[in-house]
Amino acid sequence: MKIKGISIKDLGIYISDYLRKNGIETVLSGGACVTIYTNNKYISYDLDFVLPVYVNRKEIRGVLEKIEFYEDGRYFKHKDTQYFIDFLSPPLSVGEEPVKVISSIRKGNMVLKLLSPTDCVKDRLAAYYHWNDKPSLDQAILVCKDNKVDLKEIERWSINEDMSINFKMLKKMLE
Amino acid sequence: MLKPLFNSDKKEKILLYLYTHGESYAREIARAFKCNLNSVQNQLMNLEKGGVLYSKLKGKVRLFGFNPRYPFKKELEALFEKVLSFIPDEEIEKFYKPRLRPRHTGKPL
């Protein structure tokens, strides 16, 4: 596949599908999900793939090197794209809870598994709460505006995470 | 105490140190336990890779602390609390009771 000029969404689909065909399951999380769900209103350059089960780093390196990605510190990069790949250790979670529902995007016969819009909002809210990172709250709002999200579920999760104040803030900004 | 679980006495000490100090850096931890700086750095990096710790740069120092987004953080903290109750007072005083209040510039120790 031609990497030059590829969008982060298409790169995510390609990498996820390629890894799966090589026996490595992943779920995309983080800012790239925001980019995908907001149709590029927020731009992320890193693809954070969560590994639902432990995979040896050597195995990942070997597979990615076949398509000309190289390891640079904790990331994998490619000479033809500014986007880079990171792998996050299991478990797949948002805050303290495991992720139960995983969304997918198809392109031809390729599949990208990623956080649902609702879990993507939780993920951003968790970053806002724990790091006081205002851009993460803005990203959560963008995802809410452009997608069907389950606000009741986000409220339940927020209370469970002692983040009800953040949920109120989100709700107020969505009004 | 957790060596059978962590397979490393050092890792247990590092985690307990961070649990009681909130944040710290490799050199401080290595100095506290009089151990090799590189091995402390490696343990910290591995724990960060695994999502247990976060790190951030403050000036030229890389500070480490427990990742608040680690899903087992609460359970891990409960475990460390129990471990601390088994550690002799002398050792607690020496390693795990940091002075948290500020100290004036130039004030003698």
Residue A90 and residue A27 in one domain = yes
Residue A150 and residue A110 in one domain = no
Residue A48 and residue A90 in one domain = yes
A2 domain-assigned: no
Number of domains in chain B: 1
Partners of residue B50 in chain A, C-beta under 8 Å: 89
> What is the extent of the structural domain holding A98?
8-115
The 10s digit of each residue's pLDDT in A7-58 is: 999 999 999 999 999 999 999 999 999 999 999 999 999 999 999 999 999 9
| Boundary of a domain, candidates A115, A132, A154 | A115
Residue A72 and residue A156 in one domain = no
pLDDT score of A175: 87
B42 domain-assigned: yes
Residue A67 and residue A83 in one domain = yes
Over residues A123-145, the mean pLDDT reads 93
The 10s digit of each residue's pLDDT in B24-78 is: 999 999 999 999 999 999 999 999 999 999 999 999 999 999 999 999 999 999 9
pLDDT above 80: residue A165: yes
- CATH number assigned to the domain comprising residue A41: 3.30.460.40
Measured distance CA(A29)–CA(A119) in Å, rounded? 9
- CATH number assigned to the domain comprising residue B48: 1.10.10.10
pLDDT score of B5: 81
B50/A127 Cβ within 8 A: no
| Boundary of a domain, candidates A99, A115, A131 | A115
Query: Quick one: how far is CA A143 from the chain centroid?
Result: 12
ipTM passes above 0.90: no
pLDDT score of A66: 97
Where does residue B8 rank: exposed (0-12), middle (13-18), buried (19+ CB within 10 A)?
Answer: middle
Residue A98 and residue A145 in one domain = no
The partner residue sitting opposite B51, judged by closest CB among A89, A96, A98, is A89
- What sign for the dihedral angle of Cα A77, A81, A86, A92? negative
Residue A61 and residue A129 in one domain = no
pTM: 0.87
A127/B71 Cβ within 8 A: no
- For residue A34, what are its two tokens? 């925001």
A1 domain-assigned: no
pLDDT-derived band at B109 (thresholds 50, 70, 90) equals: low
Using a pLDDT cut of 90, give the percent of chain A over it: 89
Residue A87 and residue A154 in one domain = no
Number of domains in chain A: 2
B71/A89 Cβ within 8 A: no
